[in-house]
Each structure stands twice: as structure tokens, then as C-alpha cells.
């Protein structure tokens, strides 16, 4: 069994490996949040470019900030930044290659100064981010930057070692300004509507807490392109590692498994240049909003529409639930009746075909995505992906029952006990608060949605409350499957 590293690449006979000379690559991008998605998406696109003999000065230096990133540090350093990307097709086929576009990894708690100086160097022209929906530190309802975040407060103290991406990146921008080096572009790759604008707002707000002049500089000089990113990438399991060992003869500490589909719509707004992403299939466009709303309200919100009902009904793998005709009918009905009417025309996309393609993607048994992954961090996801659909349809008089049912299924899930009486592990930054509210809702049905930091004023809307309490009551008295049957048949 060969350990994956630069030294063993030439010995890997059953894997496609980088055909370019990695020793000649130089980092032009620093990326925060090197998880599975980044490695199946941005890093993969750059590897494609490098294979074509392009972008050799746009390699990636990964950065980890969270304690959980220590493991990624150890694996990538041991493997010289290399990893195996396994694309699994529904028919059982697998296309695997070693990705070579990550050439360095820095763990910020080890040496914040090294991370700052890396970004301050002129060679770095893009800082990209996959820091999750909650990583931008703004209140889900008010949209305001949360200055009372303990790590933010720490980073604002003079002379401290920065803990946050805000502290690290803003300090690097400050040094570039002092040294006369043009600023890098900050490129968000997170599932947030207007992710570039969200990043701009957060970084300008943070800079303003440090120095109003710095905030003005960031607002005026730093580019924040919007983007829409899409590829289903489940959490890597020990079975995935074993399959890579058995099938390809390589010991990879952290391979990535993903579906064949991939999409990236990227606004062409960069201050210091960019790789020629369009040469490898990225849609470089003047306006991203139609693409991102399509993805957030159809794909991402449908994931939420599936996961809570699925868990309550006993499903643990996404494809098993998506292959259930009842779940497929529910998701298609949500997308067609409630989500699609809130969307503008999407250039080059047939939305009917896209909706059915999503069901096929969710049904890919080879990917083995977990329901638990989709259920995690809902308080970051539901307000950004689903509640805008409800609010828009409330404004226009459109249907809201199915999208409201998804909210009710989340509330029922957060009671922390399934329909067989087994405990549910709730993974959410607001876990304790949400579970406390959910625990009261059998006696007080609107307890969960009265959390205004999550739901705003929706609990004041009679049409929403009526639909919500009707579905929640059905979930309590009939269960998830019977409730879905009533929803798709129109009898609820």
C-alpha cells in the first residue's frame, strides 16, 4: 500500500495523477476552510487548468482557523497537499484522480503571523472562503455584524494574535495598504444569497470596528465577487478511505467523494487578476443573482425539505429518501409551486429540467450522502435558503403550505426524539435554545417560531401560523409519512 505523497505519484498505476510539475507551482490564492467541498470544487477547477498548462501561478495555500482543522493540517502536510477525488456516478462508475493544486497548508493557531504575511505578499491575489453560512458573523434576522462575538472582541484588542478570519484577513489588507501593495480579491464560495456582498458587509463592518479609515479602504478598494457554487460532497467516511485503498492501492488519509455534477457561476469582478476559470467550465457572468437564487431555493432548500421528514420517517441516507416516490413528489411540488415562482429567468437553464435533475442527483446511491449532514446547522441554513421563499410568497399571495411544512418538520426534529422514541443528536450552534423551544410546542404550538432572531416577525403572520400549526399538529398526531401523504394529496 503506497502512502500518497509527491514521492509516490509516479508509482500510482490505477489513478490519474497530476501531469504538471508541482515543483513549479506558486500560490496565488489563499483559501480559508479547506473541507470536502472546496477540494471537490475550486481546487478541482484549478487542477483542471493546471493540467491544461495554465494557472501555474494560481496554486492554493490552504488555511485552517478552527480546532477541527488540525486534522486537515496533519493529513495535507503528510501528503504534500495531495488528495484523491473520487467522482461516483449513479451507475456505479467511478472516476478518480489525484488533485495537485494545493501546495501549502497553514494552521492559523500555530502561527497567525505566518498566515498574515502569506496574504500580505504580492503573489497572493485572491483570498477565497468556504467558512459555512455562519462564518460571516451576521445576525440572520437583522443582517447586522455581531460585534459582541467573543472571538471578534478578542481580535479587536490591540496586540492580540488574531483568531478569526476577519482578524487575519483584515490585518493582511492593512499591511498591503501600508506597503503599497494592491489588495487581493475576497471571493466567497459559501451558500449565501449575495455571498460576495455578505462578505463585503462583514469585512467592512469588522474593519470599521478597528479603524474607520481601514473600513473606507476595504469598501473602496477590495473586490468581493458574488458566486454560486454547486456540487454534492458528503462527509468522507472510513469506508471511503478503505475503498480508495482497496481499489486504487493508495493510502489517502482524507480523500473526497462527490457526484458528477458540478457548477460554478462567478461574477467577473477581480481587482488583481484571476485564473481563466471559463476555460474549464466555470460560468463567468456579469450577474450571479439568478443562478444563486435558483440553487439556494431549489437545491439547498429542497435538501432541508427532505432531511427532517426523512429522519423522522426512519431514513438515514439521502438517496434512500429521494428514491421514495412520496418524498420525490413532495420535493417536486415544493419546487414547482412555491420556490420557482419566486425566481427570475435563469439564462441558459431550463428550470423544469433542473428540478427533475435535482431529484436524480439526490437519488445517487453511490454518493451515500447522509441525512444527518443535511440536518446540521439548520439555524444558519433555513433563514437564508427557505424563509425568503415563504416571505416572498406571503407578499405576493403565493402558496406557502409546503415550505411552511418544512419549517414545521424542523421544529418537530428539534424536539430531539424520533417517532420510535430514539434520541436525535441535534447539531446546531443554537442547539440548546432551539431544543428548549421545541420542547414546549406540544402545549404552546408557536413556541419554536417565536424566536425572532431566527424567524423575524413570521409568528405575527396569521396565514403562516395557521399553516405551520396545522402541519405541526399532523406531525405530532399522524407522523412524518402520513403528513407528507396529506400534503402531496392536498388533504392537509
Q: Using alpha carbons, list the distances in angstroms from residue 298 to 176, 219, 302, 311, 319.
A: 40, 32, 6, 20, 17
Residue in the block written with cell 434520541 = 423
Same domain as 301, residue 224: no
In this prediction, residue 88 carries a pLDDT of: 95
d(CA 182, CA 271): 8
Structural domain range at position 453: 289-489
Same domain as 476, residue 357: yes
pLDDT tens string 350-380: 999 999 999 999 999 999 999 999 999 999 9
Same domain as 306, residue 181: no
In this prediction, residue 132 carries a pLDDT of: 86
Same domain as 163, residue 66: yes
Among 232, 260, 285, the domain boundary falls at 285
In this prediction, residue 192 carries a pLDDT of: 87
Same domain as 27, residue 155: yes
Among 234, 263, 285, the domain boundary falls at 285
Same domain as 297, residue 245: no
Same domain as 293, residue 225: no
Q: How many residues does the chain have?
A: 492
Among 285, 300, 333, the domain boundary falls at 285
Q: Using alpha carbons, list the distances in angstroms from residue 436 to 416, 432, 440, 470.
A: 10, 6, 7, 21
**pTM for this predicted structure:** 0.89
Q: What is the 3-state secondary structure (H, E, C) of 115-183?
A: HHHHHHCCCCCEEEECCCHHHHCECCCCCCECCCCHHHHHHCCCCCCCCCHHHHHHHHHHHHHHHCCCC
d(CA 385, CA 410): 14
Number of structural domains (the chain) is 2
Same domain as 30, residue 70: yes
Domain of residue 170, CATH code: 3.40.50.720
In this prediction, residue 45 carries a pLDDT of: 98
In this prediction, residue 112 carries a pLDDT of: 98
pLDDT tens string 270-325: 999 999 999 999 999 999 999 999 999 999 999 999 999 999 999 999 999 999 99
d(CA 201, CA 213): 15
Same domain as 344, residue 196: no
Same domain as 353, residue 459: yes
- Residues of the chain where predicted confidence (pLDDT) is lower than 70: none
Domain of residue 308, CATH code: 1.10.1040.10
Same domain as 469, residue 341: yes
Same domain as 324, residue 258: no
Amino acid at each position: 500500500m503506497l502512502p500518497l505523497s509527491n514521492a509516490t505519484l509516479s508509482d500510482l498505476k490505477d489513478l490519474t495523477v497530476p501531469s504538471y510539475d508541482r515543483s513549479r507551482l506558486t500560490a496565488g490564492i489563499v483559501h480559508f476552510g479547506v473541507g470536502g467541498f472546496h477540494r471537490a470544487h475550486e481546487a478541482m477547477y484549478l487542477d483542471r487548468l493546471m493540467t491544461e498548462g495554465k494557472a501555474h501561478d494560481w496554486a492554493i495555500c490552504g488555511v485552517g482557523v478552527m480546532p477541527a482543522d488540525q486534522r486537515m493540517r496533519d493529513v495535507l502536510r503528510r501528503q504534500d497537499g495531495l488528495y484523491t477525488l473520487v467522482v461516483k456516478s449513479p451507475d456505479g462508475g467511478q472516476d478518480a484522480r489525484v488533485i495537485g493544486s494545493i501546495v501549502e497548508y497553514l494552521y492559523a493557531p500555530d502561527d497567525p503571523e505566518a498566515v498574515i504575511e502569506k496574504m500580505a505578499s504580492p503573489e497572493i491575489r485572491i483570498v477565497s472562503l468556504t467558512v459555512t453560512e455562519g462564518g460571516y458573523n451576521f445576525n440572520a434576522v437583522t443582517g447586522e455584524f455581531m460585534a459582541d462575538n467573543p472571538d471578534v472582541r478578542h481580535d479587536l484588542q490591540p496586540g492580540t494574535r488574531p483568531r478569526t478570519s476577519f482578524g487575519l484577513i483584515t490585518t493582511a489588507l492593512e499591511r498591503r495598504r501600508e506597503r503599497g501593495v494592491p489588495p487581493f480579491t475576497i471571493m466567497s464560495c459559501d451558500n449565501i444569497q449575495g455571498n460576495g456582498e455578505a462578505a463585503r458587509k462583514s469585512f467592512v463592518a469588522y474593519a470599521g470596528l478597528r479603524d474607520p479609515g481601514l473600513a473606507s479602504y476595504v469598501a473602496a478598494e477590495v473586490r468581493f465577487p458574488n458566486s454560486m457554487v454547486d456540487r454534492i460532497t458528503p462527509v468522507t467516511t472510513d469506508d471511503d478511505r478503505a475503498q480508495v485503498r482497496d481499489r486504487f492501492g493508495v493510502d489517502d488519509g482524507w480523500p473526497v467523494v462527490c457526484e458528477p455534477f458540478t457548477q460554478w457561476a462567478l461574477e467577473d469582478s477581480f481587482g488583481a487578476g484571476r485564473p481563466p476559470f471559463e476555460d474549464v467550465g466555470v460560468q463567468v457572468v456579469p450577474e450571479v443573482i439568478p443562478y444563486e437564487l435558483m440553487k439556494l431555493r431549489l437545491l439547498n432548500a429542497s435538501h432541508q425539505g427532505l432531511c427532517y421528514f426523512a429522519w423522522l420517517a426512519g431514513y438515514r441516507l439521502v438517496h434512500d429518501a429521494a428514491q421514495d416516490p412520496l418524498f420525490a413528489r413532495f420535493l417536486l411540488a415544493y419546487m414547482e409551486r412555491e420556490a420557482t415562482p419566486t425566481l427570475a429567468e435563469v439564462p441558459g437553464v431550463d428550470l423544469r429540467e433542473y428540478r427533475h435533475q435535482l431529484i436524480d442527483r439526490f437519488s445517487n446511491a453511490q454518493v451515500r450522502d447522509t441525512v444527518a449532514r443535511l440536518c446540521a446547522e439548520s439555524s444558519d441554513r433555513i433563514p437564508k435558503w427557505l424563509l425568503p421563499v415563504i416571505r416572498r410568497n406571503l407578499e405576493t399571495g403565493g402558496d406557502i403550505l409546503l415550505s411552511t411544512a418544512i419549517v414545521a418538520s424542523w421544529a418537530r426534529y428539534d424536539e430531539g426524539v424520533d417517532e420510535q422514541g430514539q434520541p436525535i443528536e441535534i447539531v446546531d450552534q443554537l442547539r440548546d435554545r432551539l431544543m428548549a423551544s421545541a420542547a414546549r410546542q406540544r402545549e404552546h404550538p408557536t413556541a419554536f417560531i417565536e424566536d425572532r432572531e431566527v424567524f423575524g416577525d413570521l409568528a405575527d403572520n396569521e396565514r403562516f401560523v395557521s399553516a405551520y400549526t396545522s402541519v405541526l399538529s399532523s406531525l405530532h398526531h399522524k407522523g412524518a409519512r402520513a403528513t407528507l401523504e396529506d400534503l402531496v394529496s392536498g388533504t392537509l
